[in-house]
């Protein structure tokens, strides 16, 4: 009897495409969770008050915006590196993506700790750590966008998106790392660019496979 082997999944069913699409779905679901915001300059008591009674929703949001997206932050840049035959730009994109994924998982853990605490001092320290870690993650995502644009394996519109992402998310990264509210508002621009870049890159690379 002839052996039957499963053909590798390509196109829209490939790993990069599925993880890219999953990134979009996860973030869309996370942003739709109704939770009260806590600003960069919120006091410990304000943070505890905002979290009170919303523990389940906040935990779900951390899962959807920090936990699950870490998978795509690792796999899509790795796909860029592989498609670029591990050129210098490809290696930078892959390495920066892996670091960003690790930071995202750390943020997920910090977020769960924030949900569980009722101490204003602890809540303030955890939120500050969460925001500063976000800034660090954004710097690595800027590297992913720039290196992905230079790797030469993405469509032209995604290369332009990667450059725009690198500029915008580096600016918002400064805001979050240094807790500067003004620059942090650039996240309203950089987040849509990030979602577009990761989702688009995953699908584009999956279709090329």
- Which residues are within 8 A (CB) of 7 and not within 5 positions of it... i.e. 6 or more apart? none
The predicted pLDDT at position 12 comes to 58
Q: Compute φ and ψ for 143, nearest 5 degrees.
A: -65, -40
Altogether, the residues listed in the chain come to a count of 209
- Please write the tens of the pLDDT for every residue from 155-199: 999 999 999 999 999 999 999 999 999 999 999 999 999 999 999
Crossing angle of helices 120-150 and 156-177, in 10° steps, is: 150
The predicted pLDDT at position 52 comes to 84
Report residues of the chain scoring pLDDT below 50: 1-8
Q: How far, in Å, CA of 111 to CA of 121, rounded?
A: 15
């Amino acid at each position: 009897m002839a052996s039957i082997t499963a053909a590798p999944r390509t196109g829209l069913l490939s790993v990069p495409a599925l993880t890219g699409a999953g990134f979009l779905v996860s973030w869309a679901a996370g942003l739709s969770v109704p939770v009260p915001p806590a600003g960069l300059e919120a006091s410990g008591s304000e943070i505890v008050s905002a979290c009170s009674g919303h523990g389940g929703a906040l935990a779900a949001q951390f899962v959807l915006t920090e936990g699950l997206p870490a998978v795509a932050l690792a796999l899509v840049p790795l796909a860029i590196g592989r498609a670029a035959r591990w050129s210098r730009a490809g290696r930078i994109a892959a390495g920066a993506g892996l670091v960003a994924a690790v930071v995202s998982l750390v943020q997920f853990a910090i977020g769960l700790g924030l949900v569980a605490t009722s101490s204003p001092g602890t809540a303030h320290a955890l939120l500050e750590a969460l925001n500063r870690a976000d800034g660090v993650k954004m710097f690595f995502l800027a590297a992913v966008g720039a290196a992905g644009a230079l790797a030469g394996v993405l469509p032209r519109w995604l290369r332009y998106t990667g450059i725009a992402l690198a500029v915008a998310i580096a600016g918002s990264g400064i805001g979050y790392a240094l807790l500067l509210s003004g620059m942090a508002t650039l996240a309203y621009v950089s987040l849509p660019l990030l979602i577009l870049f990761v989702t688009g890159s995953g699908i584009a690379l999956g279709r090329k496979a």
